[in-house]
Structure 1
């Protein structure tokens, strides 16, 4: 199948298992190889500096050259923009990096930029402000960081509470609260722009910013709206899109776009989406078709420990 490297592999055991089951020669990278839960499964885990330390990207390049890595899939959002800048360098050395272009990433990874993009393109999204001046008392507000991953520092506040919570958040934005059912939508876009899969799933329970209970659904409206969004936001590779279907009106609001494999993607894999096939250079799918998946499949996550000797 070929050699594949997953960065920040850490706890991504189910994702790693998926690629291995399809015959990929899988390796990983992380800060501490001896503290990665995936170490018992992955052939080799390479220790690397932090993404913002000198030498990190040179070390990734060194690993790819030394180990003859054909495909690199980054899993850590803060490294995506720099890897996009270096994509040609990696490609010229024989490693295809599954990362979107820099312009798209700068939209997705800044939640205020993304809200402006939605609005400019006629895509429904909650009112989003980058300061407190125009906050009204017509609804609650979500106070959250403008950048970042994992659902940290996210608070739901009344008009009176916004000022209090904004002091607890780094570089906050303010988004009107929408009462309704939360969705995650796992998608995969080929290098030529063809959308290979769209899988909506309901977020039934979230723990520490990552979905712990979820179920796949067939929702033609959400799928159609997602395809419309993807036609305007040029992505490459995996992404997980967040949205909310408003209770009462049924209107669907897009909230976030995470241009990487999301934490809940094992459910989509189990529902039948073969990401390991999508990465193959010779993979082909009929134009204007989406890969089928099993609806009504529920994921109930739990913690599992592995034990390693000193």
Structure 2
């Protein structure tokens, strides 16, 4: 009788954990004591039955950082994530295999190989590594060939090549890191299971729909291993820390394809099967489990006869009840204009979450420059209330699930309708209407700041001969700043003006406001406030060269004390998402707030480079993730951004 599973690990990272094997594994880990922590990473959305205490990272793990995984500090890494195609790989699989097999495996070990907590690595390899000449036959085979670990290797396709490449990489790492962690590479045989892409699940779905199934190579043998058994076996193998290197993992008992059909016929008496002749060789393989049995007191127990009814029950239940999981919606950037760096930043964030997400540049100008850097373009109607139904209809028709406003003049519209859009399945990156209003209105912003004891610069609508400002340093001033109450104040700014000049300048403005002129270093603050109202990341930066109100050259200020002062101030503003706070650092160490833009700023791409990962955090929150899983890691050294024009040359499609 096999012993119960006992895992000597407390922090387990599973790549590809929302897959067929991964879900079975998570179910087993959920039964372990509460002190066992699990981090699951996958492109797919979080499965509904995953325990709330388990962390989930949706997105392309090619973008997982060493800092991110170091925070979790895994002691066990189980690498399940992989992409594959059944039977014959298509021409388009060339790039997909490299990105999500070869590159991914290399990257995940790159970011973990120096993490001190790591003790064990289990890599789900494949029997496809073995030379197919050992188990492929032109004639119907009488019995299967038992493959041994020392048999000849010659991967029969790109997937097998990728598996072998990473086996060799892990062997390489063991020559340097054997004292830190051990690695084992189980070569898994023909997997099948609930919610699978394998032929067994596909046939069950077809039979439930009353369709005929097509059968190739009915006399071939495969070593079918049920995903639930695979999950159990991989965890047992992980616990056997002295087992390293290559090891076969199957049942050791191959079955013919015809056996699968016979079991299905037992449950579907009216089964219709079309047996098709093929020039594909007959396969006859199974795992030699001698090495496994010498180390692991357990063998996969589930037969086809026991597993197939479970798969049928699962598919029946899913067809009746379960919603179909959807890929994350596409992203619309409204008022995209010439905001090329912003579009590129959104595209980078979207691809990290899911490679199929498209970024659509939206604008009222058909010659919008940003469209050349997006995946698609939409000539949008004006953001006016009467156009809301058309905007929602277009977004739903095009699969747009996220909207990122980029212009002050449209923020009120998107904020006012964010609930209606959410009900339509569209998440907008915008703050609540009252928070947007006080950022758009500089007078209201100053009044709010004074009421909430924030260090705002006093602001008034008028000046007279007897009025002077108290500049909070105890001295009066007769030098003023004049700007528009609404909109980009820097474009019509009157700076360091005497009273008469200030009044004269105000005559040229629509709604002038007056502030005292205060000497100091002007800074911008890029921050992201999560849905919980807390600052998730904040980076101050100097405005070294300013052109038309935007920083042409800007440099981050790695000042923890300043960050600590700014964080509670930003949180009092009641905003959500990215923001840019403008402030002054005076010579006496005081902090003076000028204004706040409740959107992503023109030079805020430096904030992303410095760790304020605004667009990725937004997409993760929209997908239901807890941002605690994506901690803020500020850049360790100062960074400088220089915004310069760049020529881009692209091929032009030929027209007939």
Same fold by TM-score, threshold 0.5 exceeded?
Answer: yes
Give the aligned partner of residue 345 of structure 2: 18
**How does the TM-score come out when normalised to structure 1?**
0.91
* Counterpart Cα distance in 1 of 2:535 and 2:477: 38
* Counterpart Cα distance in 1 of 2:598 and 2:645: 25
Give the aligned partner of residue 233 of structure 1: 573
User: Residues 48, 285 of structure 1: CA spacing in aligned structure 2 closer, same or farther, 3 A cutoff?
Assistant: closer
Deviating more after overlay: 197-206 vs 10-19: 10-19
Offset of residue 115 of structure 1: 0.5
* Counterpart Cα distance in 1 of 2:518 and 2:530: 32
Give the aligned partner of residue 158 of structure 1: 498
* Counterpart Cα distance in 1 of 2:363 and 2:337: 7
* Counterpart Cα distance in 2 of 1:72 and 1:127: 35
Give the aligned partner of residue 324 of structure 2: none
Correspondent of 1:104 among 408, 427, 435? 435
Question: In the alignment, does 2:388 pair up with 1:61?
Answer: no
| Aligned-partner SS, 1:160 | helix
Offset of residue 295 of structure 1: 3.8
Correspondent of 2:626 among 275, 284, 295? 284
| Aligned-partner SS, 2:477 | coil
Give the aligned partner of residue 540 of structure 2: 200
CA contact (8 A) 2:530 2:627 kept: no
* Counterpart Cα distance in 1 of 2:369 and 2:395: 22
CA contact (8 A) 2:484 2:512 kept: yes
| Aligned-partner SS, 1:21 | helix
Deviating more after overlay: 55-64 vs 122-131: 55-64
Offset of residue 17 of structure 1: 1.1
**How does the TM-score come out when normalised to structure 2?**
0.44
Cα deviation, 1:108-134, whole Å, max 9, x if unaligned, reads: 110000001111111112221111235
Cα deviation, 1:82-131, whole Å, max 9, x if unaligned, reads: 21121111001000111111111111110000001111111112221111
Give the aligned partner of residue 365 of structure 2: 32
The runs of at least 4 aligned residues of structure 1 exceeding 6 Å deviation read none
* Counterpart Cα distance in 2 of 1:59 and 1:12: 24
Count of residue pairs brought into register by the alignment: 306
Cα deviation, 1:285-304, whole Å, max 9, x if unaligned, reads: 339x6442344111111233
Offset of residue 80 of structure 1: 1.2
* Counterpart Cα distance in 1 of 2:510 and 2:565: 31
* Counterpart Cα distance in 2 of 1:93 and 1:20: 23
Which structure carries more relative contact order (alpha carbon 8 Å, separation 6+)? Answer: 1
Unaligned runs of at least 5 residues, structure 2: 1-327, 352-356, 469-475
The RMSD of aligned alpha carbons is 2.3
Deviating more after overlay: 22-31 vs 68-77: 22-31
* Counterpart Cα distance in 2 of 1:306 and 1:50: 29
* Counterpart Cα distance in 2 of 1:61 and 1:2: 13
* Counterpart Cα distance in 1 of 2:332 and 2:402: 6
Give the aligned partner of residue 451 of structure 2: 120
Give the aligned partner of residue 48 of structure 1: 380
* Counterpart Cα distance in 1 of 2:408 and 2:394: 20
Offset of residue 149 of structure 1: 2.3
CA contact (8 A) 1:81 1:102 kept: yes
* Counterpart Cα distance in 1 of 2:530 and 2:582: 20
Cα deviation, 1:122-148, whole Å, max 9, x if unaligned, reads: 111222111123543724211000000
User: Residues 264, 135 of structure 1: CA spacing in aligned structure 2 closer, same or farther, 3 A cutoff?
Assistant: farther
| Pairs within 5 Å for 1:210-229 | 210-229=550-569
Question: In the alignment, does 2:332 pair up with 1:5?
Answer: yes
Offset of residue 187 of structure 1: 0.8
* Counterpart Cα distance in 2 of 1:19 and 1:82: 21
Give the aligned partner of residue 413 of structure 2: 82
Offset of residue 305 of structure 1: 5.2
CA contact (8 A) 1:196 1:291 kept: no
Cα deviation, 1:232-275, whole Å, max 9, x if unaligned, reads: 2211111111000012x120101111000011111112223322
* Counterpart Cα distance in 2 of 1:153 and 1:104: 24
| Pairs within 5 Å for 1:265-304 | 265-279=604-618, 280=620, 281-286=623-628, 290-304=632-646
* Counterpart Cα distance in 1 of 2:489 and 2:478: 25
